[in-house]
A and B are shown apart, each in its own frame.
Chain A
Amino acid sequence: MSDFLDQFLPSTVGGLVFGSIYALVALGYTMVYGVLRLINFAHSEIFMIGTFASLVVVTAVAPDVPLTGIALVGVLLLMMLVSGAVSGGAAVLLELVAYRPLRRKGATRLTALISAIGASLFLQELFALVVIPAITGNPGRNQQSIPRVAARDVLFQIGNADVRLDQVIVVVAAVIMMVALDRVVNRTRIGRGIRATAQDPEAAVLMGVSIDNIVRTTFLLGGAMAGIAGALYLMEFENTVFNIGFVLGIKAFTAAVLGGIGNLRGALLGGVALGLIENWGAIFLGSEWKDVIAFTVLVVVLMFRPTGILGESLQKARA
């Protein structure tokens, strides 16, 4: 038990960092689900693409030492911008190729899900076989590393836990992005269109909302969030691999379900909760069981509360 107390605070810090990244990726699942009632299985690959977009940026800018101050802010913003744009674009393309033809034909959701699995495998292998060797020169199935971007300075301590600069960056950036997205969805015209479509697509069409535009925007916003998550992930963990999206995607989906799928604030809550549960559980069981803990959480949540923590507001606050 003293073990647990010793490791509790450091684990909490680590859990918050992981949780922020899960939450950012979960936003994409939850938005697409809100509008299309579809689990965008290939969203995890959008995240993967984001990590590689950032990898290209880091390699191009090539900071030879860990950065601080203005240089660090500049490089990080560039990473997030490029990753967000690339991932957002990839998500729009994905929708165009894998989902739009099905939507046109009035296909069922099972069809869309299988199409999504296909797109997911295709993107992974495309990166492993073609894209990664082209941009890094290394075999595509190897883990790819980047030099340290943000210095690992300890900013302050909470109890026995060091809080480092990079960890603060991840959490703060994630929270800013989530607040921004929340604003967009709740305050802007396009956000109103998204909410209207989520609530009742037929009525939305009758009121002059262009479904195609709304769906495209939804994928763009969700994809951009996944891309930014990819940039933060790469900065924090300094490596990526072609199939990095697989486990992370399931966990982000778990986070979305945990918070209440279709609910933006639920994604934040679910992401942080999952990050914490996973890290606390790992103290008892060892970190090799982390994934098992996450999957078990998924099963348990779906069993007992399929609408998630913020489930009551599924209809009202559906983004």
Chain B
Amino acid sequence: MKGDAVTGTTNPLRRVGALADGLRDWWEHAKTWQRYLVYLAAIGLSLVLPAPWIGSFMSPGADWTTVLIYPIGTYILLAVGLNVVVGQAGLLDLGFVAFFAIGGYSVAYYGTHYGWNYWATVAFGIILAAVSGVILGAPTLRLRGDYLAIVTLGFGEIVRITANNTDEIGGARGIANIPHPPPVFGTKFLLDPAPYYYLIVAAIVLVIIFSVRLQKSRVGRAWAAIREDEDAAELMGVPTFKFKLLAFAIGAMIGGLAGGIYAGKAVFIEPNTFPFILSATILAAVVLGGSGNLPGVILGAFVIGWLPERFREVEWLKEALGRDPAEYRILLFGGVLVLMMALRPEGLLPSRRRKAELHEGTGGMGTLGAEVPGPDTDVATSEAAK
């Protein structure tokens, strides 16, 4: 924060940060009833959010409630899951979409082939995703940083190509006619998007509570220790491998849940529903918002899900560009990622601890380097990347 004051407030990103800092100070000292008031306000907001008068401003070109489910809600759910892996445990995962796919395919396959109950397929998808998280993590979590990133990227592609080449799960044609969720409290899940919206809000709330409880527990502290300095954590008696595996499995479960909900709404999935770019998008959301800080991550996912939809139907923009502005989405993500890393690598609303780590320079994320674990890894050369 001292650094912010010195380098001046000319950088608008820093001003956002200063505002966030002020808010967070208030939050830390807020009384219990004040906090509950904020929770209530947030829940109230999420209940009225699909209202048409909001939608006419937020999404003039498409059905607002549908936009709230996908991309916005799904992105938030995925980002909260990826935040456990990247933000809390500091493991860079570029194949997160694989777990989303596994959840989606479980619901699609067991729902259409065996006629299982929707909730059972979702639960099964979550378990399957967790198991594959462990299967991927067990051999690869010895790797660090960039190597882990590439291996997870490879895993994401393996899952997609396998789905594409396996006729049993529809091959490139995908799976159609996925059953909708059965009625809950008399609410039917059919064509009306509203019930799905509330379903996804419920899932997000559950996952947030779960994630916050984890972060404050012993597990969360172990993750933070691993993220800051894995070797030191190991020396201090943290079984790092076990906790990294746990982070991977929990992230995977949340990804699987998101996939299950998505499949129940979308009715049709195919391998290309789960491209690498989705992994990159969710990572961009986490990093943009402020890796490790839940409100930041949610903000990041909302912005990244919403903005392309908002500008899809803006006529003057369409004319100026000569095509649908949403096509520039990925171009913008790319540019924003590069800019963010240069200007504010900690994201819009960084977690305090994470920000301190990044400002330290050598410490913090230093363990995320790509050292080949071996007897001859020396510190001087490994710091050359700076």
Contacts and interface: CB of A to CB of B under 8 A. Distances in A.
Interface of A: 33, 35-39, 97-98, 101-103, 105-115, 117-126, 129, 197-203, 246-247, 250, 253, 257, 261, 286, 288-289, 291-292, 295-296, 298-299, 302-303, 306-307, 311, 314-315
13 contacts: A39-B147, A102-B341, A102-B342, A103-B385, A109-B145, A110-B365, A113-B145, A119-B337, A121-B334, A201-B384, A288-B161, A289-B165, A295-B157
Interface of B: 92, 94, 139-140, 142-143, 145-147, 149-151, 153-155, 157-158, 161-162, 164-165, 276-277, 280, 283-284, 287, 323, 327-328, 330-331, 333-338, 340-342, 345, 358, 361-362, 364-366, 368-374, 376, 380-382, 384-386
B385 A37 contact: yes
A131 to B, nearest CB: 12
B338 to A, nearest CB: 4
Contacts, number: 183
Given A125-B334, A303-B139, A200 B380 contact: yes
Describe A's contact surface by its main secondary structure.
Answer: helix
Given A118-B338, A286-B165, 7 more contacts: A106-B361, A107-B361, A111-B345, A129-B323, A257-B147, A292-B162, A306-B373
B371 to A, nearest CB: 8
Contact of B151 (A110, A111, A302, A311): A302
Contact of A129 (B154, B276, B328, B336): B328
A306 B381 contact: no
A306 B374 contact: yes
Contacts of A126: 331
A37 B283 contact: no
A253 B364 CA distance: 27
A108 B154 contact: no
Given A38-B385, A108-B365, A289-B161, A306 B147 contact: yes
B237 to A, nearest CB: 25
Nearest to B136: A299
A48 B139 CA distance: 32
A155 B370 CA distance: 45
A113 B291 CA distance: 15
A125 B371 CA distance: 31
A200 B151 CA distance: 28
A281 B280 CA distance: 30
Contacts of B370: 33, 37-39, 109
B372 A314 contact: yes
A115 B337 contact: yes
Contacts of B361: 106-108
Given A129-B331, A307-B372, A118 B385 contact: no
Contacts of B333: 118, 121
Contacts of B374: 306-307, 311, 314
Contacts of A201: 380-381, 384
Contact of B335 (A105, A122, A253): A122
